[in-house]
Chains A and B, each alone.
Chain A
Amino acid sequence: AQSVTQLGSHVSVSEGALVLLRCNYSSSVPPYLFWYVQYPNQGLQLLLKYTSAATLVKGINGFEAEFKKSETSFHLTKPSAHMSDAAEYFCAVSTSNTGKLIFGQGTTLQVKP
């Protein structure tokens, strides 16, 4: 069965600092991986996705993630945090044949001025 683990339910960074949100997956088949962001009282918005075309994936708002098969990881990074990045971030894996998403528990990103 496929699963996703997000390490750290809360991450706090200073404005301008590096953002690193960790995601590890478990899958018996090549996974398709996604990062979504949820702002307060809103739905989820896709940041980026890995579909095996390239291991380094660039997304919106300056975020990127690298797929590392040897480490079964898909960590999300951004070089410089902005106050507007404060939100909850979800890593997800897509299961075969249907596209349904299995989500991690989420990581709340706090950005301090």
Chain B
Amino acid sequence: DSGVTQTPKHLITATGQRVTLRCSPRSGDLSVYWYQQSLDQGLQFLIQYYNGEERAKGNILERFSAQQFPDLHSELNLSSLELGDSALYFCASSVDSRETDTQYFGPGTRLTVL
């Protein structure tokens, strides 16, 4: 158990819908990262928050957004869902945002868009 929790574990929804994925980092960690894992794209970095502020952005679609709240939990919002958004979404946390910090991964949320 990494100490990072993600809810829900599974999510099945229809095209055009909007969903919210939630992540609670390890106690004391200030950075939260979101990654998408799919068969065709592999593991892709989406976005990072550090102590409530956006720190880095990857190949995140405009339909996707995220935020980190004062209690440091984070939410990833996916809207106007398409079939291609079906993937495993991981949240990871680290104590800081240095390139040497270990990132601890949650178990993931599996999103299926029908």
Binding site for B on A (CB under 8 A): 32, 36, 42-46, 49, 51, 90, 94-106
Number of B interface residues in the complex (CB < 8 A)? 29
**5 closest residue pairs by CB, A with B:** A43-B105, A98-B56, A94-B99, A103-B43, A44-B105
B45, CB-defined interface residue at 8 Å: yes
Q: With contacts defined as CB atoms under 8 Å apart, how many contacts are there between chain A and chain B in the complex? A: 65
Binding site for A on B (CB under 8 A): 2, 4, 31, 33, 35, 42-45, 48, 55-56, 58, 90, 92, 94, 96-108
Cross-chain contact of B99 among A45, A97, A105 (Cβ < 8 A): A97
Q: Is the CB of A43 within 8 A of B99?
A: no
Residues of chain B within 8 A (CB-CB) of A100 are: 33, 45, 48, 56, 58
Give Cα A107–Cα B98 distance, bound, in whole angstroms.
26
Q: Is the CB of B2 within 8 A of A45?
A: yes
Beyond the given A98-B97, A101-B33, A101-B45, please list 16 additional residue pairs across the A-B interface where CB-CB is below 8 A. Answer: A43-B4, A43-B105, A43-B106, A43-B108, A44-B92, A46-B102, A95-B99, A97-B99, A98-B56, A98-B99, A99-B94, A99-B96, A100-B33, A102-B45, A103-B42, A103-B44
